[in-house]
């Protein structure tokens, strides 16, 4: 098992030696049930309050860049209305292995977390918000690229659904940096990754 962080600078393999990467901040932000379910098996998120989306949009605009997976993109697209346009003006990336994903104008494709970071750095940004789903979260965690974790925990337990992380080999030691009740039914937990 991987323990702790993987260095972003130096070394070979898929790691990049760019100083921009070592200065890049990566925050994982997810809304979930008490038992870490981020969506039902059919991708519905009906147990999450609308305020969670508003908080995601605010954090994304603070970061300047956002990445999520193809399935998450398709689910949000299905919401209609202004959901995708809420993220206009940002560096917007879909992490996918799909050969030719159909994306709206202004969205970019990355095949790996490191490629996503390269796109963010190329856009002149220094902060990336990772917002799921489980496979994307695990890809960034396995690569040792997460600096902060912000979890909105809804006051509900969901018996069957998609987990916060897909199974993978990683450990991430955390320090609790803050806890806030952002609504009667939502507690926000903020963790810093121990370096």
pLDDT in tens, 33-63: 999 999 999 999 999 999 999 999 999 999 9
Alpha carbon distance 62, 128 (integer Å)? 10
Question: Could you tell me if residue 185 is inside a domain?
Answer: yes
Question: Could you tell me if residue 8 is inside a domain?
Answer: no
Question: Could you tell me if residue 114 is inside a domain?
Answer: yes
Number of domains in the chain: 1
Print the domain residue range for 161: 19-193
Tell me what the mean pLDDT of segment 59-85 comes to: 95
Question: Could you tell me if residue 14 is inside a domain?
Answer: no
Q: Give the pLDDT score at 21.
A: 62
Question: Could you tell me if residue 126 is inside a domain?
Answer: yes
Question: Could you tell me if residue 11 is inside a domain?
Answer: no
CATH number at residue 151: 3.40.430.10
At 22, is the pLDDT very low, low, confident or very high (cuts 50, 70, 90)? low
Q: Give the pLDDT score at 195.
A: 85
Tell me what the mean pLDDT of segment 102-112 comes to: 96
| Average pLDDT of the residues of the chain | 90
Question: Could you tell me if residue 10 is inside a domain?
Answer: no
pTM of the predicted model as reported, rounded to 2 decimal places = 0.89
Q: What percent of the chain has pLDDT over 70?
A: 89
Question: Could you tell me if residue 37 is inside a domain?
Answer: yes
Tell me what the mean pLDDT of segment 127-150 comes to: 98
At 10, is the pLDDT very low, low, confident or very high (cuts 50, 70, 90)? very low
Q: Give the pLDDT score at 193.
A: 98
């Amino acid at each position: 098992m991987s323990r702790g962080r993987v260095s972003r600078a130096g070394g070979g393999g898929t790691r990049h030696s760019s100083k921009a990467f070592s200065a890049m901040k990566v925050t994982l932000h997810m809304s979930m049930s008490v038992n870490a379910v981020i969506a039902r098996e059919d991708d519905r998120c009906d147990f999450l309050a609308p305020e969670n989306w508003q908080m995601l949009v605010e954090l994304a605009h603070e970061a300047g860049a956002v990445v999520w997976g193809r399935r998450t993109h398709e689910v949000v697209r299905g919401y209609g209305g202004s959901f995708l346009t809420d993220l206009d003006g940002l560096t917007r990336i879909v992490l996918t292995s799909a050969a030719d994903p159909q994306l709206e104008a202004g969205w970019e494709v990355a095949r790996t977390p490191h490629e996503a970071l390269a796109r963010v750095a190329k856009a002149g940004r220094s902060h990336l918000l990772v917002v799921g789903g489980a496979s994307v979260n695990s890809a960034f965690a396995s690569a040792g690229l997460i600096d902060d974790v912000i979890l909105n925990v809804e006051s509900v337990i969901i018996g069957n659904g998609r987990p916060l992380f897909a199974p993978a080999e990683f450990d991430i030691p955390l320090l609790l940096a803050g806890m806030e009740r952002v609504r009667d039914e939502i507690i926000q937990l903020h963790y810093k990754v121990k370096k």
